[in-house]
Amino acid sequence: GRDGGAAQPGLSARSQPPRSCEDYRWEWKHCRGLRHAFHHYYTHGELPACDRWRDDYEACRAWERGRAAAAQEALCKSERARVMEKQKYPPVWTLRKSPPPDWYMPLDQDKSN
Amino acid sequence: MEQGEAASPPAARDKLGGREGEEEDDFGYRLFPDRNKKQQSFLVRSLFTFHNKCQLMLRMTLDTNPYAQLLLEAMKQSGCTVFNDRHFSCENCDGCVSGGFDSATSQIVLCQNNIRQQSHMNRVVTHELIHAFDHCRAHVDWFKNVKHLACSEIRAANLSGDCTLMNEIARFKFGLKGHHQTCVRDRAIRSILAVRKVSKETAEKAVDEVFDACFNDLEPFGRIPHSKTDAKRAYRDFQNRDRYNANL
């Protein structure tokens, strides 16, 4: 996370939560739904754990109400952990720095569309 | 040529005329016989209703399907804006194949003779756009590196809706607990075997080696979209990604 320029110890320069609190609430409610439970079991072979979304939603609400430092830190820590979980495996390929050079090249045949 | 969906095992490969002891890999192009032919005139193409129907269904997908819209937006952000006329082609194909991505021409091929329903078109377009997205954002060695091909096929099967329970039941493949992963693995292997002259063991080994990394690479969705609701939510998250990254 970025903590540059903090005016008080423990508070960061972040102006708002990473997601809107409504988004956290939606994720929590969605996670607890029957349809999602089925999809999660079908995909991963186990039922989902939704408490984390609930904790994130509560931290977000606390952030919005009073910019509580502990709530900010807890929420950002949880989101950073989500990002790290996605980067757990070494990539199979190298990412490009620019798009393929022939993406826009005209085709050999005439296209009369 | 990366193949989107074959309902049957690939046909036996023919040896090219007279070569002893060496079969040439056609990279799947035999499934798309119209790829290297001179295109028929507009009038002739218009007379075939399959072509018109394919174009109409494609337009519907690109305009209304949230999976496709997210992929198009993500590709645009990566510098690969997709143009209907340039990057899509409705053609007749062999066998039961539904579509493919031709990395040599940066074109998505849609098999107009095999795609009959809008839901199928949605899924094929999403599947092929995932290949196109991978081509756009990474140095994917489609022709020489089986692991790269395997990775893109795993991602396409995982994220396009190919492996929903209903689709699997329609194929008479039954399973529930964790069956999605079984389906993704099997379909990736079948896709590799259809377009590359490699043994089943080689294909299986490549898929197994990259499975964990590629099954968990959910870009640009950020989640496995099991429905249009999930896809719309993923699109929303994609649009808000700047806020997300700035406030971590």
Question: What rounded mean pLDDT belongs to chain B?
Answer: 88
Residue B145 has pLDDT above 50, yes or no: yes
Asked if B80 and A104 count as a contact pair (C-beta separation under 8 A), the reply is no
Q: Is the Cβ of B39 closer than 8 Å to some Cβ of chain A? A: yes
* B 118-157 → A contacts, CB under 8 A: 134-141, 147-148, 151
User: Across residues B170-198, what is the average pLDDT?
Assistant: 96
Q: Is the Cβ of B12 closer than 8 Å to some Cβ of chain A? A: no
User: Across residues B161-172, what is the average pLDDT?
Assistant: 95
Question: Predicted ipTM?
Answer: 0.84
Residues of chain B contacting A44 with CB distance shorter than 8 Å: 178, 181
pLDDT of residue B162: 95
Asked if B54 and B88 count as a contact pair (C-beta separation under 8 A), the reply is no
pLDDT of residue B125: 98
User: Across residues B68-92, what is the average pLDDT?
Assistant: 96
Asked if B226 and B164 count as a contact pair (C-beta separation under 8 A), the reply is yes
User: Across residues A81-106, what is the average pLDDT?
Assistant: 94
Q: Is the Cβ pair B137, A76 closer than 8 Å? A: no
Asked if B173 and B183 count as a contact pair (C-beta separation under 8 A), the reply is yes
- DSSP annotation of A102: T
From the number of C-beta atoms within 10 Å of its C-beta (0-12, 13-18, 19+), residue B32 rates as: buried
Judge whether B5 counts as a catalytic residue. Answer: no
Domains plus CATH for chain B? Answer: 27-139 (3.30.2010), 141-219 (no CATH)
pLDDT of residue B6: 44
What's the gap in Å between the CA of A97 and the closest CA on chain B? 8
Residues 6+ apart with CB under 8 A from B202: B146
